[in-house]
A and B are shown apart, each in its own frame.
Chain A
Amino acid sequence: DQQVKQNSPSLSVQEGRISILNCDYTNSMFDYFLWYKKYPAEGPTFLISISSIKDKNEDGRFTVFLNKSAKHLSLHIVPSQPGDSAVYFCAASEASWGKLQFGAGTQVVVTP
């Protein structure tokens, strides 16, 4: 039962443009959401998070938007850089629970 879904397995974007990654969830008890980035042969690294009391969180080039009514979140990367080429995972948690449910990931390729 996949409670966190990333329906786009891949995304190609030109350097300098915006990358938009999408994530949908089904569990209404989720109240904390995270994005991780993963390079080959490395573990996932934490990128940015948002709690359900907010609808937007920004950190430099990265912004996460949360739409609770639609059970949807997105990650915007502006401007995209070649070093952003990686697999991005969306994850969700019930705060008091501690466990993370991960999506399948989206492979982002930033072209020059």
Chain B
Amino acid sequence: DAGVIQSPRHEVTEMGQEVTLRCKPISGHNSLFWYRQTMMRGLELLIYFNNNVPIDDSGMPEDRFSAKMPNASFSTLKIQPSEPRDSAVYFCASSKAGGAYEQYFGPGTRLTVT
């Protein structure tokens, strides 16, 4: 299995620009999670989907952040407009549907907003 795939691996953009991060979960996994890792806050959950439906987006920091999952094999996390404080590593993870299953993480996207 290819594992969770994220693109791009690195993104450098200027403040005010739109940023789109992409994720392909493991085939057969029904839950998908977006995390952000920073030095200050550690690993924090932004949003998670179950069967392509957003279940909990309470971790999304502001309206500038949005996430979609149009089908079972693809999700995006968009930041518009981006700000320097959005600089972080963004991880996507997937797991079997519901319950307490281990989550499998992608390699992450390192975002730098200048």
The finding on whether chains A and B are genuine partners in a shared complex, rather than unrelated, reads yes
Chain A contact residues, CB within 8 Å of chain B: 31-32, 34, 36, 41-46, 49, 51, 89, 93-100, 102-105
Interface class of chain B by DSSP: strand
- Chain B residues in 8 Å Cβ range of A97: 100
Q: 8 Å CB contacts to A: which residues of B20-67?
A: 31, 33, 42-45, 48, 50, 55-56
Contact B100 A31 (CB under 8 A): yes
Contact B48 A99 (CB under 8 A): yes
Q: Once A and B bind, how many residue pairs between them come within 8 Å at the CB atom?
A: 57
Q: Is B79's beta carbon under 8 Å from chain A?
A: no
- Chain A residues in 8 Å Cβ range of B98: 96, 98
- Chain A residues in 8 Å Cβ range of B104: 45-46
**A9→B102 CA distance, assembly (Å):** 23
The total of chain B residues at the interface (CB under 8 A) is 25
Chain B contact residues, CB within 8 Å of chain A: 4, 31, 33, 42-45, 48, 50, 55-56, 91, 93, 95, 98-108
**A45→B107 CA distance, assembly (Å):** 10
Contact B107 A43 (CB under 8 A): yes
**A3→B89 CA distance, assembly (Å):** 22
- Chain B residues in 8 Å Cβ range of A41: 107-108
Whole-angstrom distance from the CB of B32 to the nearest CB of chain A?
11
Question: Across the two chains, which residue of chain B brings its CB closest to A94?
Answer: B100
7 inter-chain pairs at a CB distance below 8 angstroms, sorted by A residue, are A43-B91, A43-B108, A45-B104, A49-B102, A98-B50, A98-B98, A102-B42
